[in-house]
Amino acid sequence: MARGRGMTDPRILVLATGGTIAGQAGDAMRADYRPGQIGIGAYLEQAHALGIAAQFTGRQIANIGSEDIDASIWSRLYAEIDLAMRDEGIDAIIVTHGTDTAEETAFLLDLTLPSTKPVVLVGAMRPADAVGYDGMRNFANAVRVAGDPEAAGRGVLVVMGDRVHSARDVRKAQTRATEAFRGFPRESVAIVTPSRLDWFGAPWRVDEPARLEFLPLPEVPILAVYAGMSAAAAERQLAGDPPGIVVSGLGEGNMPDPVRQVLLRHARRGCLVVRASRTDEGLVDREPQDDANGFVAARALGVPKARMLTALLLANGIADPVEAQHFFDER
């Protein structure tokens, strides 16, 4: 449905997937709640009632907790945004999303869409009927960002807690706080309120085409490395000879030697092995042995995003570690 205000207000397609931003507890004082309860029609009515100025078209893609996001929802989201990118009647796209997997969805879209129109993901940490609901504030901020032509050329953006993050940098770093998201290496790319937006620099991906094609993703396991891990324990996590492995490694992507030997065996059979870190943030740079081992370094990408990129590279037929490394090096 299209809901009009002023003819000069930005024309924004809002794709709703559920999450806490559309969640309800039924009682403002309750701690437990159900995500994905409010439909996008009712949500946009409330936004207009508050004076949030945009010409919205709302579409309900799903109404789930984002722990249940899956290939079919991603594929529908991508198809809708891809169409909107070519629709002259739409200026920008907002996706409402649960926060648990927002970084995966945002990065998948970031890698597969051109950077020609603003695409903004937004969520909330408190359900809509809670005291201090943060969702409508975040949504108003997202509208402020999406309505700014300067938001294009920065890839997909994630708006949470008065900050704008690049999809490539962002991660959920807190289970409950309303300031739950952090970015690395760029902490954030702008500060936003419903009435003001301050970018920290010029767009860096102006009119860039999609970096990779959106295709069905293969299963790529994460190897959770720990002190004293045995080769047998590593092999158990890697059953079925997967096409790629993301190592949630120690420190700068390290692992005990028996585990390294297991990964070498997988790399030699053509599996794409990516070393990331189980620490909260920091670079995992290439080390001298990576060339000989045929391993890739995740650089600034944390484990969930390294896994997403590895799966998408494999879907696009890129299994060569040297070629794959370039995609991890990009900003």
List interacting residues with ligand DAS (CB under 6 A): 19-20, 35, 65-67, 98-100, 123, 125
- Reply yes or no on whether 20 is catalytic: yes
Residue nearer to ligand DAS on the CB measure, 19 or 302: 19
Nearest distance in Å: CB 123, ligand DAS: 5
Nearest distance in Å: CB 204, ligand DAS: 29
User: Among residues 305, 6, 9, 20, which one has the least CA distance to residue 139?
Assistant: 20
Residue nearer to ligand DAS on the CB measure, 35 or 155: 35
Residue nearer to ligand DAS on the CB measure, 97 or 275: 97
Nearest distance in Å: CB 206, ligand DAS: 31
Residue nearer to ligand DAS on the CB measure, 298 or 303: 303
Nearest distance in Å: CB 124, ligand DAS: 6
Question: Residue 289, class by beta-carbon neighbours within 10 Å (0-12 exposed, 13-18 middle, 19+ buried)?
Answer: exposed
Report d(CA 51, CA 53) in Å as an integer. Answer: 6
* Cβ-proximal residue to ligand DAS, closest one: 98
Nearest distance in Å: CB 99, ligand DAS: 3
Kindly name the residue from 20, 96, 101, 112 that is annotated as catalytic: 20
Residue nearer to ligand DAS on the CB measure, 66 or 112: 66
Residue nearer to ligand DAS on the CB measure, 37 or 310: 37
Report d(CA 145, CA 8) in Å as an integer. Answer: 16
The pair of three-digit structure tokens given for residue 307, joined into one six-digit string: 């896994």
Nearest distance in Å: CB 59, ligand DAS: 18
Mind telling me the catalytic residues? 20
